[in-house]
């Protein structure tokens, strides 16, 4: 008896490899996939503006990167003893005004350069609902716990999302004709919006992406993370304690499916080899002074050096530095 409804999708006509430059933008689901890519030694930049949930805020972030317009002090607001940018997640907020500006612009500068040469954009839309700051009418990426009466909440339409993103994709492809954009819809339900409202919101995102894929069929693609979570993994054992976010088990399952869609046999072989090294790096000894552990560390260090020699396009400098600190204490 089959107790699942498997989501069927074809292997992509292209491969995401360790040679690829990848930028990810969007909801916390993009953080999950981005972390997996980073842990497995892909060249990625994950959410250079922090987590963003709605298509307009993601559009504004990428559009600003294309404009190469750095941020200034007067674009930050002061609230609850910290300085915030409405275009950024709260992880960029800081009690020091200058430090907040510097951090934002450091990430901005790096992402702007990477966008020019990126092979892939992975975009995750989370919700169709947005908040406009009454003072300027601007859609914000994060309200930073400012009182709700200072914002107007509204739901974007399919036409609004399609129109703005069509303009952005045309601009991106003019700069980078070989760019491929992989869209996903976050499987995380926004129950604070209401159950029915969440369904309407997700439907708008799906329809908007479908419109864009019809317009830019050679450059836009869809990975069914939403469908895998909602249909194939429709059991609460695949959810975290809040019953909304995917559990670690579900994240690993969706990552496996992502690899099936976009990784070549060579990439899978590299991942298998790296996973064995990662497991060695996770090892915690009972006796860090024992001869057996010392041999284990030296052997792991040799494995990493051999891995780098086989795959010179992958850097393991952080891992070698970590082992060097351990060896220094022997």
What pLDDT, on the 0 to 100 scale, is given for residue 189? Answer: 87
Using the predicted structure, report yes or no on whether residue 24 has a pLDDT greater than 90: yes
What pLDDT, on the 0 to 100 scale, is given for residue 298? Answer: 96
Both tokens assigned to 70 = 């750095």
CATH 3.40.50.1110 range(s) for the chain read 21-263
Residue 118's contacts (CB-CB under 8 Å, 6 or more residues apart) are 21, 22, 23, 176, 179
Using the predicted structure, report yes or no on whether residue 190 has a pLDDT greater than 90: no
> Which of 293-319 are b and which e, b meaning 16 or more Cβ less than 10 Å from the residue's Cβ?
beeebeebbebbeebbeebeebebeeb
Instruction: Give 21-263's CATH code, choosing from 3.40.50.1110, 3.40.50.300, 3.90.950.20, 3.40.50.920.
Output: 3.40.50.1110
Residues paired with 76 in a beta bridge? 85
What pLDDT, on the 0 to 100 scale, is given for residue 28? Answer: 85
Using the predicted structure, report yes or no on whether residue 330 has a pLDDT greater than 80: yes
Q: Using 50, 70 and 90 to split pLDDT, how confident is the model at 15?
A: very high
| Residues 70, 111: Cα–Cα separation, whole Å | 11
Q: Where are the beta strands (DSSP E) in 159-247?
A: 180-185, 220-222
Task: Identify the three-state secondary structure at position 139.
Answer: strand
What pLDDT, on the 0 to 100 scale, is given for residue 251? Answer: 94
Element (H, E) at 22: strand 21-26
Using the predicted structure, report yes or no on whether residue 2 has a pLDDT greater than 80: no
Residue-wise pLDDT for 46-103, tens only, equals 999 999 999 999 999 999 999 999 999 999 999 999 999 999 999 999 999 999 999 9
CB 26 within 8 A of CB 125: yes
Residue 4's contacts (CB-CB under 8 Å, 6 or more residues apart) are 232
What pLDDT, on the 0 to 100 scale, is given for residue 329? Answer: 87
| Residues 97, 140: Cα–Cα separation, whole Å | 19
Residue-wise pLDDT for 225-241, tens only, equals 999 999 999 888 888 88
Cβ atoms within 10 A of the Cβ of 254, count?
A: 26
Closest CA to 193 of 224, 164, 223, 153: 153
Using the predicted structure, report yes or no on whether residue 26 has a pLDDT greater than 90: yes
What pLDDT, on the 0 to 100 scale, is given for residue 136? Answer: 95
Provide, for the chain, the percentages of residues in helix, strand and coil under a 3-state DSSP scheme, each rounded to the nearest 5.
50, 15, 35
What pTM did the predictor assign?
0.94
Q: What percent of the chain has pLDDT over 70?
A: 100
What rounded mean pLDDT belongs to the chain? 95
- Residue given tokens 């993994």 in the structure block: 233
Q: Using 50, 70 and 90 to split pLDDT, how confident is the model at 169?
A: very high
What pLDDT, on the 0 to 100 scale, is given for residue 234? Answer: 85
């Amino acid at each position: 008896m089959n107790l699942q409804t498997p989501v069927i999708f074809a292997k992509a006509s292209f491969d995401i490899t360790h040679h690829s430059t990848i930028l990810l933008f969007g909801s916390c689901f993009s953080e999950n996939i981005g972390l997996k890519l980073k842990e497995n030694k892909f060249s990625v930049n994950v959410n250079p503006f922090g987590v963003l949930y709605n298509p307009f805020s993601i559009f504004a972030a990428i559009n600003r990167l294309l404009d190469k317009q750095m941020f200034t002090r007067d674009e930050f607001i002061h609230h609850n003893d910290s300085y915030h940018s409405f275009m950024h997640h709260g992880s960029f907020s800081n009690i020091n005004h200058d430090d907040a500006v510097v951090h934002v612009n450091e990430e901005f500068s790096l992402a702007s350069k990477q966008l020019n040469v990126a092979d892939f954009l992975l975009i995750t839309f989370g919700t169709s609902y947005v908040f406009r700051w009454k003072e300027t009418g601007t859609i914000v990426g994060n309200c930073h716990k400012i009182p709700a009466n200072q914002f107007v909440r509204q739901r974007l339409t399919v036409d609004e999302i399609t129109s703005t993103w069509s303009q952005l994709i045309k601009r991106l492809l003019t700069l980078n004709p070989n760019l491929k954009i992989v869209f996903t819809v976050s499987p995380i339900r926004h129950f604070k919006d209401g159950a029915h409202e969440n369904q309407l919101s997700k439907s708008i995102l799906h329809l908007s992406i479908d419109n864009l894929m019809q317009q830019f069929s050679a450059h836009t693609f869809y990975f069914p993370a939403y469908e895998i979570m909602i249909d194939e993994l429709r059991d609460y054992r695949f959810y975290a304690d809040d019953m909304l976010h995917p559990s670690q088990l579900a994240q690993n399952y969706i990552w496996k499916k992502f690899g099936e869609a976009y990784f070549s046999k060579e990439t899978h072989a590299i991942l298998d080899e790296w996973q064995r090294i990662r497991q060695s790096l996770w090892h915690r000894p009972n006796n860090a002074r024992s001869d057996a552990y010392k041999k284990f560390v030296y052997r792991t260090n040799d494995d990493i050096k051999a891995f780098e020699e086989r795959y010179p396009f992958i850097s393991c400098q952080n891992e070698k530095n970590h082992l060097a600190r351990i060896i220094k204490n022997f």
